[in-house]
Amino acid sequence: MRKKLVAGNWKMHGSLQQNALLLERLKAGMPGVQCAVAVCVPHPYLAQAQSLLADSLVLWGAQSVSEHASGAYTGEVSASMLREFGCHHVLVGHSERRSLFGETDAVVAAKFVAAQKEGLVPVLCLGETLAEREAGHTMAVILRQLSAVIDHAGVVALASAVVAYEPVWAIGTGVTASPAQAQEVHAAIRVRLAELDSGLAGGLKILYGGSVKPQNAVELFAQADIDGGLIGGAALVADDFLAICQAAN
């Protein structure tokens, strides 16, 4: 059985004081949590996360990474820099990076490779817009995004990665894909990978992201191919995030 993972994406939220309270509360609530837990924090707070979480079971990571190892790329942060702050995971291809900052499938694939070269675990985000879902293009979009990484890195690279299905229409909207809708996409991703490498497909963690809350987490995580969650707003409320982690037990 795949051990579940619950990862929090803080997005552009937080302050030193707020973070300290949240992280200390998470640490205190970890006894009894059986799944793996991670928080992906804004870059300026990585040092704080490293300091506060180093003696805990909570992993920490970043929300984005440059595809470049170094150079004249003002404002960018390389994978080696993230590694120096003890990062374990890094998000790549989040829909907000794709839509707001123009990250193409090719850029996402390059970031995926750059992260793995430094020993980071990329969390590859895949997802369709509402218009794409209503047009019946969900799986075409998901498989296009997935294939871009496989073509660039090889399918075996996914053995050291996590995939997160995040329907764009459910991120931050309060609307959640039904457990059946989410399971359908998760299963299709696993079937596609099984066609290329059956052993890898069986062990790959595929997370669901998109308005996961304590009220719906148990039913979502009970689906056969949903291996945890990538949590947005609820990750900023310690009790809610811990309840979601408990749901993943």
Name the residue type at position 145. Q
The model's confidence at residue 184, banded by pLDDT at 50, 70 and 90, is: very high
**How many of the other CB atoms lie within 10 Å of CB of 108?**
24
Inform me whether the pLDDT recorded for 177 exceeds 90: no
Around 51, how many Cα atoms within 13 Å sit in the side-chain half-sphere?
A: 8
Angle of helix 179-196 versus helix 138-153 axis, rounded to 10: 40
- CA separation for the pair 90, 32 (Å, rounded): 26
The model's pTM? 0.96
Span 165-192, mean pLDDT? 90
- CA separation for the pair 49, 40 (Å, rounded): 9
> Which pLDDT value is given to residue 181?
93
Beta-sheet strands, E only, within 93-149: 121-126
> Which pLDDT value is given to residue 173?
77
54-73 pLDDT per residue, tens: 999 999 999 999 999 999 99
Q: Under a CB-based contact definition with an 8 Å cutoff, are residues 83 and 120 in contact?
A: yes
> Which pLDDT value is given to residue 29?
96
> Which pLDDT value is given to residue 83?
98
Catalytic residues: 94, 166
Give the DSSP H or E segment for 3.
none
Q: What are the beta bridge partners of residue 165?
A: 126, 208
